[in-house]
Every structure is written in C-alpha cells, then in structure tokens.
Amino acid sequence: MEVQSVLHMNSGVGDISYAENSTFQQKMIASFAKTARQEAAVDSFRAAICPTKMTIADLGCSVGPNVLQMASEIIEAIAQASHQLNRRPPEMQVFLNDLPGNDFNTLFSLLPEFYELRETKLQETDQEQVPCFISGVPGSFYVRLFVSKSLHFVYSSNSLHWLSQVPQMQLQDGSEAPLNNKGNVVEGGHMVLTFMARRSSDPLAPMDFDGWELLAKALRDMVSLGLTEEEKVDSFNLPWYAPSMEEVKDEITIQGSFAIKKIELFDINWDDNSQEAPRNDHNYNPVAKSTLTMAKASRAVLESMLKSHFGEAIIEKLFERYCFLLEEYYSKYKAEVTNILIVFERK
C-alpha cells in the first residue's frame, strides 16, 4: 500500500466525511492537551524574547473545524501573553500540514468565515488585532517540510500513530520517530504531540479498547460471507502504531535535539456518552448513538485505505457488520482509548 496516496480522511463535508465525524478528535483537543499546547506556545514566544513574527505548524492537520479551532486557541494564548508582557502581539504565520491527498479545498473553504469571526470577536473585545496568515503545506511529516530554523512552535494532534509506510512484519516492535522536522524548530521552540499509545510495554498485550480487533472481526466475517478472500484480510496491514511511553522516551533520547518537559498518558472515551438525551426523546438510545458516532468516525478515517485494498463493493456491508459488533461491545463495555501527551523543548 502506497501510504501517501491512500491514507487520507474522507473528504468533503457530507454524512461520511471526516469534517463531520471527528467527535473523538474534538474531545482530545478540548481535553487538557489544549492547555499544554497553549502553555508551550507561550513558552516558545517568551523563549524567542517576544518576537514580532511567529511561525507555528500543525502536523497532520486533516480537515474540519478542529484544525482552525486549535490554531485559534494558540493565537489567542499568545495574544494574551503579549498583552500581559506589555508587548505588541506578533504576526502569526500558521502552516497547516497534511498529505497531498488531504482535502485542503474543504479546509480552505472554512477560512473566510474563520477570518470574519476573528475580526468580529476582536472588535467586540476591543483587543489589538493579531494579523494571522494561514497556509497549507502538502507533504508527509516524515520528510522535511519547512525551511530550517523557521518554526517557533509545532503541534500535532491525533496523527503520529499513522506511519509513513505499512509495517513489513505483522507486528512492528519499534515506533517511528516523528522528529524529522527537528532541524526546523528554532532553539527554545516547543513541540506538543498527542497521539494514541498503549499502557503496556508489551506490544502483544491487548489494548483496553481495541477498535482494530472489531474491524478485523468484521473483515473475517466478510470472508465467511464470501465477499473477500482470507489472503486479502491477512495481507491488510494498517500503517498504524501505538507505542508505549518507554518507546517514545527512547526515540526522543536517541534523536537528541529535544528535552522532554512533560510526558503523560491519558484516557479518552471513544464514544459519545457525553451527549445527553434530547429532551422529550423517550426513545433515545445512548448505545445506538455511540455506535453510530464511532462507526462513522472509523469510516471517515479508514475508508480510503479499505477501498484501496478490498475494493469499493465491500464497504457498505463491512461497516454494517462493524456497526453490529460495535453495538454488541458498547452494550457491555466502556470504550476508553489511551493517548500520550508530550511537551518538548528544542535544546
């Protein structure tokens, strides 16, 4: 599988698009990772001695309102910090990176509204305007993407568990270092990464909630139904890896350019139980709601890869079955997923 050409979230803004189905990713952003990002961005600003221009980059931004919300929160934090320090807020250059197959058109279509909202808000709060310039950077974050020493702050949310290539073995025992762009972060610059991880140091240990296992089961059921071949399922490997904290620490030490300021694991519910039942809806079924949310979110992320490997014909049936398995699961268990948050400073 050519990861660069088939790994992309579903495009557009329709019912099965990633833009409309990224609740989980939204949660991760709204979680305490937001504070970590804001603090690290402000630290970068101070470390550069309140520069007049600042460049920040989102690696693996994907598409949807989450992307601009994160950028906005960071810009706001820096504006506040500069206000407190009695400095002029810096002009902000924001680079949004993802693979060339990402739906940048949809992402860019959100910009006019984003700029307008910012303007309205500024007028309301009587705050000084922070000029902010957004651009899209198509390319893999496993190769160099930026001019050297040009970035003050880098962040990546929910992307680095995707690998640059499909593992050659069934199981990969080392994670890929997401640090190829290190040369571009200026001294004192910060980087905040959040992505999926595992609590156990044993790569074979089952995860608390293994969505992949349910997907594998659904795929095997497709074989039973004669809709695909066993060899096809066996040869389908996702370019995905959730490392343990130790593996991450080791990679950072080997790479050597960054000091770890904070590293911790945290859990997020991979369902939608947070949503309350709509008033007067006596038929509201939280399990069915969670199932649908999760099935759509998985589809938005995986469809491009599944189509490329199994063909388009299998997709509807596969996700129908996946829905059934998810519902079975949700009726018994909570779906918690482990993530890792790391805050680095460039040495």
State the burial class of residue 6 (Cβ atoms within 10 Å of its Cβ: 0-12, 13-18, 19+).
middle
Among 14, 100, 256, 311, indicate the residue that binds a copy of itself (CB under 8 A): 100
Of 131 and 311, which CB lies nearer to a copy of itself in the complex structure? 131
Tell me if residue 170 falls in helix, strand or coil: coil
User: Which spans in the chain are helix H?
Assistant: 3-6, 23-30, 33-47, 65-84, 104-109, 111-125, 211-224, 230-234, 245-255, 286-310, 315-330
The CA distance from 296 to 302, in Å, is 10
Shortest reach from residue 192's CB to a copy of itself, in Å: 21
- Residue 35: count other Cβ atoms within 10 Å of its Cβ: 11
- Residue 116: count other Cβ atoms within 10 Å of its Cβ: 10
Instruction: Scan for tokens 């860019």, then name that residue.
Output: 108
Candidates 40-48, 109-117, 198-206, 318-326; binding stretch for a copy of itself (CB under 8 A): 109-117
Of 184 and 339, which CB lies nearer to a copy of itself in the complex structure? 184
Among 111, 117, 259, 277, indicate the residue that binds a copy of itself (CB under 8 A): 111
Nearest in space to 252 (alpha carbons), one of 346, 148, 156: 346
The answer to whether 51 contacts a copy of itself (rule: CB under 8 A) is: no
Q: Per DSSP, what are the bridge partners of residue 151?
A: 185
Candidates 129-137, 267-275, 306-314, 338-346; binding stretch for a copy of itself (CB under 8 A): 129-137
Among 103, 176, 272, 303, indicate the residue that binds a copy of itself (CB under 8 A): 103
What is the 8-class DSSP label of residue 295? H
Of 100 and 174, which CB lies nearer to a copy of itself in the complex structure? 100
Phi then psi for residue 226, to 5 deg, are: 75, 20
The answer to whether 123 contacts a copy of itself (rule: CB under 8 A) is: no
The answer to whether 88 contacts a copy of itself (rule: CB under 8 A) is: no
Candidates 97-105, 220-228, 257-265, 308-316; binding stretch for a copy of itself (CB under 8 A): 97-105
- Residue 244: count other Cβ atoms within 10 Å of its Cβ: 20
Q: Is the dihedral of CA 108, 110, 111, 112 positive or negative?
A: positive
Residues 131-190 that bind a copy of itself (CB under 8 A): 131, 133-139, 144-148, 150
Among 80, 108, 210, 325, indicate the residue that binds a copy of itself (CB under 8 A): 108
What is the 8-class DSSP label of residue 202? -
Shortest reach from residue 153's CB to a copy of itself, in Å: 15
Shortest reach from residue 62's CB to a copy of itself, in Å: 14
Among 84, 112, 278, 282, indicate the residue that binds a copy of itself (CB under 8 A): 112
The answer to whether 330 contacts a copy of itself (rule: CB under 8 A) is: no
How many positions of this chain bind a copy of itself (CB under 8 A)? 31
Binding residues (CB under 8 A) for a copy of itself: these are 4-5, 11, 53, 91-93, 95, 100-101, 103-105, 108-109, 111-112, 131, 133-139, 144-148, 150
